[in-house]
Structure 1
Amino acid sequence: MPDFADLLSLSMNPLELIARGSLMYWFLFLLFRFVLRRDAGSIAIADVLLLVLIADASQNAMAGGYETVTDGIVLVLTIAGWNWLIDWLAFHFDWVRRLVAARPLTLISQGKVHLRNMRKEMISQDELMAALREQGIEKVDQVKLAVMESDGQISVVKNGK
């Protein structure tokens, strides 16, 4: 029979858990925001593997060897709290929204492909053409504007031709 008092007691100082969770949250947030690329609406096996490895590597740094359920709850609430706070701040303040969300990136304008922007996000010609075909477009010259949005999706406006 488990000892519920031990299971629910804190084995670490809650402030240490909050500090560890906060530091790792901000480290991972900045890593994902500024280092990793946006994807054109899909998750590849390599991306899933990267996320699993990052989660495993950061777990010990965040937890510091916690042993009780309550320690885990404090840690999860800290991470969820930061996530909620960032969403709230981004909703209420434009400068926060600009900081946390990638800017839309023009890929095609007036039928002209912007190769520099494609290189910046590591989007191949094949990936771009696949996104256009999903929108019912066969040729680049049929596109007035194609933009990679902050969520990685490609928005397309067709020419009036």
Structure 2
Amino acid sequence: MDSVLRAAAIYLIVLIVFRIAGRRTLSDLTTFDFVLLLIIGEATQQALLGDDFSVINAALVIVSLVGFDIALSLTKQKSLWFAKILDGEPIIIVEHGQLLGHRAKKARIDESDILEAARHSQGLERLDQIKFAILEKDGKISVIPNG
């Protein structure tokens, strides 16, 4: 039972940390981010297993983590409020060529991030060519060009 409680605690801690870190943290992993995730994984493994390194305990921890993930998925399907808290909502960051500074700042996105997404997805070079830029729930930026 100790392993299940530890798994639940670590799952919630990691979930909260990445939710606080923001959407952009997981959307574009740099080498540094990848190494950081590996280190977090190792630290998490130590916290999850404690002194018991048996295969049975490891299996119990894995099953518990997958179970928590499934339970959260089902809860998000039933509760829009809960889904909004965990996943967030899409945020419009450019409207009719104008950067919405307060929203972009809150999302830790600058004009260069938006223009990069615009170049990749639509071949656009300037903000005034963008009707809407939207920070999606997964951290990607969708760009809708002016018609």
Q: TM-score, structure 1 length as denominator?
A: 0.83
| Distance (Å, rounded) in 1 between the aligned partners of 2:34 and 2:55 | 27
Distance apart, 1:127 and its partner CA: 1.7
Query: SS at 1:150's partner residue?
Result: coil
Higher helix share: 2
**Alignment length, in residue pairs?**
145
| Distance (Å, rounded) in 1 between the aligned partners of 2:40 and 2:22 | 16
Question: Are 2:136 and 1:149 aligned?
Answer: yes
Question: What's the Cα RMSD here?
Answer: 1.5
Question: Are 2:113 and 1:127 aligned?
Answer: yes
Question: Are 2:94 and 1:117 aligned?
Answer: no
Question: Are 2:106 and 1:102 aligned?
Answer: no
Distance apart, 1:58 and its partner CA: 1.9
Cα displacement string for residues 109-136 of structure 1 (whole angstroms, at most 9, x for unaligned residues): 0110122222222223222111011122
List structure 1 runs of 4+ shifted beyond 3 angstroms: none
| Distance (Å, rounded) in 2 between the aligned partners of 1:137 and 1:92 | 39
Please show how residues 1-161 of structure 1 align to structure 2 within 5 Å.
Answer: 15-34=1-20, 36-39=21-24, 41-134=27-120, 135-160=122-147
Q: TM-score, structure 2 length as denominator?
A: 0.91
Identity of aligned residues (%): 26
Cα displacement string for residues 61-116 of structure 1 (whole angstroms, at most 9, x for unaligned residues): 11112221111000000011111111111122211111111221221001101222
CA contact (8 A) 2:99 2:111 kept: no
Distance apart, 1:46 and its partner CA: 1.9
| Distance (Å, rounded) in 1 between the aligned partners of 2:68 and 2:119 | 39
Distance apart, 1:154 and its partner CA: 0.9
| Distance (Å, rounded) in 1 between the aligned partners of 2:53 and 2:119 | 52
Query: SS at 2:89's partner residue?
Result: coil
Larger Rg: 1
| Distance (Å, rounded) in 1 between the aligned partners of 2:53 and 2:141 | 45
